Amino acid sequence: MLQKTLLLDVDVRDHSGGAVSIATSHEDSQAAHATMLSRIAEHMPGIELSDYLIQKLYVIAKDMPSKTDYEKLVSGDPASRDIDAWTLGGENGVIPNAKDSAVWDAVFENEHIVPTIVDFTRLFMPTIYLRKDGGLTLVKLRYVERESIITRRRNAGRIGWEPASILIEAPAVGRAEREHLRLIAPPGLSLTEMTLARIQDGSPPAGKQTFERRVTHERGVLYSSGLQVGSYLALARLVPSAAEFAIPAMITTGISALLLLVGAWYQATFGILADAQSTIALLLLAPSTVAAYLTRRGEHKLLGRVLIWPKVLVGITVLGSLLAAGSMVLVRNQLGPYQVWPVVALDLVRIWTTTGAYSLLVAVVLAVSAIRGRMAMSKVDETPLSWQVRVRILSHR
């Protein structure tokens, strides 16, 4: 069972390394459709499904769920029925009658049927063709998923003080005889933790459920065998490389803060700076330097999401430097801050002090982020390369 997605690279081989043919999506959908109908017939004998409801089940098996539906199915409670893909009506203007609605409600009230419909709403069965030569065939399936489904970040994580947590679909866990899931950290990010969790579905736990994991900064691998069937997620924590953003941005904002605060003190003590052109040039140097860290070509999308709030904080320091330089230009042109709107009631020293204090605060935030990131990475170095871990249980949100 694999996630329905267009960004999927599947490679199926037999025991000798030869390629194995995969059925078309239409054939996969027919198999999933037949499975759902069989489950309904097994647990609701005597129920009559109209042609419309039978076709609706095929559409569920065939179509890809919306992003909202998918996140609800993975992280929410599917019993809520708040899934657009399950809503009757709307197909070619068809309006379901009362009987169809009643039968549909009865189907979704059956706890033995709903998990199957949930699975085939977000997953598909890759069907393969095997040669009938009477011998044993071992099938090896490898697939590459390029997109994490959910990114979880608390307030401290948003500014880089905690590793970013991502959840990755692990549909083969609990279904394959042996399964290993490998996560390769994108450029600019390092792994600090990786574990496996099963979404609580009400079924009783099947004894002690453990898996083996190996985690390094560059990649993490989860090995599982014989786990209870269910919906599993791989939880990973990543930190951005301090050398690529936090440290250079910290140095730049720190220098900018020093210039602004010293300049504010000098102007408050001795009056307007005499060499305004040099001062303005220094102030404008910081924004041009920081811009190289804010807009990096070829940056991985996940790294951009992790750094979005630190970049916002640093970007505001750029605006502060521009504001300080602009206020200096106004003063040197003898258009004092009390004479020109919109700088009425503002003082040059206050502007420089405020922007300098903010830049200093951002530099401290980046320094703490770099230190805490290094501490999180050091835990990986101190942990054994391979060890057994119990599967975590996640409740519905």
- What is residue 181's predicted lDDT score, i.e. its pLDDT? 82
Averaged pLDDT for residues 183-208? 79
Residue-wise pLDDT for 258-272, tens only, equals 888 888 887 777 765
Mean pLDDT, rounded, of the chain: 77
Averaged pLDDT for residues 371-384? 82
**Share above pLDDT 70 across residues of the chain, in percent, rounded to a whole number:** 70
- What is residue 207's predicted lDDT score, i.e. its pLDDT? 66
283 or 60, which is more confident:
60
Averaged pLDDT for residues 202-230? 79
For the stretch 106-141, what's the b/e string if a residue is b when 16 or more beta carbons lie within 10 angstroms of its beta carbon? ebeeeeebbbbbbbbbbbbbbeeeeeeeeeeeeeeb
- What is residue 10's predicted lDDT score, i.e. its pLDDT? 64
- What is residue 336's predicted lDDT score, i.e. its pLDDT? 47
**Where do the DSSP E strands lie in the chain?**
2-3, 8-14, 123-124, 139-145, 150-152, 164-169, 178-184, 189-199, 210-215, 219-225, 232-240, 386-390, 392-394
66 band by pLDDT with thresholds 50, 70 and 90: confident
- What is residue 235's predicted lDDT score, i.e. its pLDDT? 87
Does the pLDDT at position 231 exceed 60?
A: yes
CB 246, CB 369: distance < 8 Å = yes
Tell me how far CA of residue 140 lies from CA of 167, 175, 180, 347, in angstroms.
24, 13, 11, 71
Does the pLDDT at position 387 exceed 80?
A: no
Does the pLDDT at position 159 exceed 80?
A: no
366 band by pLDDT with thresholds 50, 70 and 90: very high
Residue-wise pLDDT for 127-158, tens only, equals 777 666 656 666 666 666 555 445 555 666 67
Question: What is the DSSP-derived secondary structure letter of residue 243?
Answer: T
- What is residue 280's predicted lDDT score, i.e. its pLDDT? 60
367 band by pLDDT with thresholds 50, 70 and 90: very high
85 band by pLDDT with thresholds 50, 70 and 90: confident
Integer Cα distance of 35 and 32 in angstroms: 5
- What is residue 341's predicted lDDT score, i.e. its pLDDT? 42
Averaged pLDDT for residues 310-325? 85
Order of strands across the sheet with 386-390?
178-184, 219-225, 210-215, 386-390
Does the pLDDT at position 358 exceed 90?
A: yes
Give the residue extent of every domain in the chain: 23-124, 150-241+381-394, 246-378
CB 376, CB 370: distance < 8 Å = no
- Residue 83 belongs to what H/E stretch? none
- What is residue 91's predicted lDDT score, i.e. its pLDDT? 62
